[in-house]
A and B are shown apart, each in its own frame.
Chain A
Amino acid sequence: QQPVQSPQAVILREGEDAVINCSSSKALYSVHWYRQKHGEAPVFLMILLKGGEQKGHEKISASFNEKKQQSSLYLTASQLSYSGTYFCGTDNTGTASKLTFGTGTRLQVTL
């Protein structure tokens, strides 16, 4: 079963912050975040492992609450280059060989 992402879409002005949530109905070993720009391949952002570890990538960070089976992606001081669709991929097996991706969150950053 696919994880649920929210919101489905968000429009920001440059410099604003956003949070994208990813929620699973199953126990998670890890959560993986990817960004896909229009017409391009998805690109890896970060992996979060069990333990509530928070990782960062540029001004993008994320958290993982394994008890709640949720992860959140935080985009601070957004830039035009952050526009794209963000996908979370959840790992229910501990091997990450079979990620289940959410339906995506479309983010648009405007001037």
Chain B
Amino acid sequence: DVKVTQSSRYLVKRTGEKVFLECVQDMDHENMFWYRQDPGLGLRLIYFSYDVKMKEKGDIPEGYSVSREKKERFSLILESASTNQTSMYLCASSPGGRPYEKLFFGSGTQLSVL
């Protein structure tokens, strides 16, 4: 089974801190995604990557950046954390190369910015 691992289940940071959320997948998937999940708003795409060093903005990229230096690892970076970035962050991956594929999600990181 595909495993998507997020480094932290819970994270507490202070306003203005630089925050790194890490995600690793073990199935050699091409595509990786970062979503945030908020009550009443569902899942919203922040960034995705379809290859190493490639990235594309999702629907809500403001305040975030990403890094993909290796195929298996996709990092989400909050340059200067703010309280409105308190949320559940979900990483996902998919094989790539075919038009219709399912996503494999990690268990999420609950980030609290104080």
Tell me the A residues contacting B by CB distance below 8 Å. Answer: 2, 5, 30, 32, 34, 40-44, 47, 49, 87, 89, 91, 94-104
Within 8 A of A (CB), among B25-47: 31, 35, 40-45
Q: Does B103 contact A (CB under 8 A)?
A: yes
* Contact-residue bracket for chain B: 20 to 34
12 new A-B pairs (CB below 8 Å) besides A98-B58, A101-B45?
A: A40-B107, A41-B90, A41-B105, A41-B108, A42-B90, A44-B102, A87-B42, A95-B99, A99-B103, A101-B35, A101-B44, A103-B40
Within 8 A of A (CB), among B55-114: 56, 58-59, 90, 94, 99-108
Bound Cα distance from A2 to B40, whole angstroms: 12
Contacts of B44 in A (CB 8 A): 2, 101
Contact of A47 among B43, B100, B104 (CB under 8 A): B100
CB pair B99 A42 closer than 8 Å: no
CB pair A99 B99 closer than 8 Å: no
9 A-B interface contacts by CB (under 8 A): A2-B41, A41-B90, A41-B106, A44-B102, A44-B103, A94-B99, A98-B56, A101-B44, A103-B42
